Amino acid sequence: NNYEYIVSACLCGENCRYDGKSTLSEKIKRLVDEGKAIMVCPEVDGGLPIPRHPCEIRNSKVVNNNNEDKTEEFVSGAKKVLELAKKHNIKKAILKEKSPSCGSSFIYDGTFSRKLIKGQGITTELLRKNGIEVISDEEFNK
């Protein structure tokens, strides 16, 4: 198959978010239905359960709201997404804004008080370092 995009699975109606829900974008799901995109959920790929404690990035580590370090899982999930992108020679990703994995312009500030700061998620950072263009669902849906 000739995939053009990696996309966040939660944007396609998969209930893989920390709260067991999805954030469906019909337009992004269509890319998957048409065979143009592959879905990933780096947090689940990294071994985290559904549902799970919400995580935020703090001082370059990923912690959950129980103060447990989940950096390893996030990095492992990000690596799996990168491997998949390389395997299929995919150069673009559309990922869920504000997520500590998938965010591309904004993330939460690490205090679990719903405060946003400029930043990117762990998977987005790794993909960009490897030359893959990452845009958010918000940009794509515009």
Where do contacts with ligand SF4 occur on this chain (CB under 6 A)? 8-10, 16-17, 41-43, 96, 99, 101-102
Task: From residue 51, give the alpha-carbon distance in Å to each of 121, 130, 142.
Answer: 19, 30, 29
Give the E-state strand segments of the chain in sequence order: 5-8, 37-40, 55-58, 61-64, 92-95, 106-108, 116-118, 133-136
Q: How far is the CB of 12 from ligand SF4 (least distance, A)?
A: 9
Which residue, 9, 4, 1, 3, is CA-closest to 123? Answer: 9
Shorter beta-carbon distance to ligand SF4: residue 4 or 13: 13
Complex with ligand SF4: residue 70 or 96, whichever CB lies closer = 96
Give 19 or 69: the residue with its C-beta nearer to ligand SF4: 19
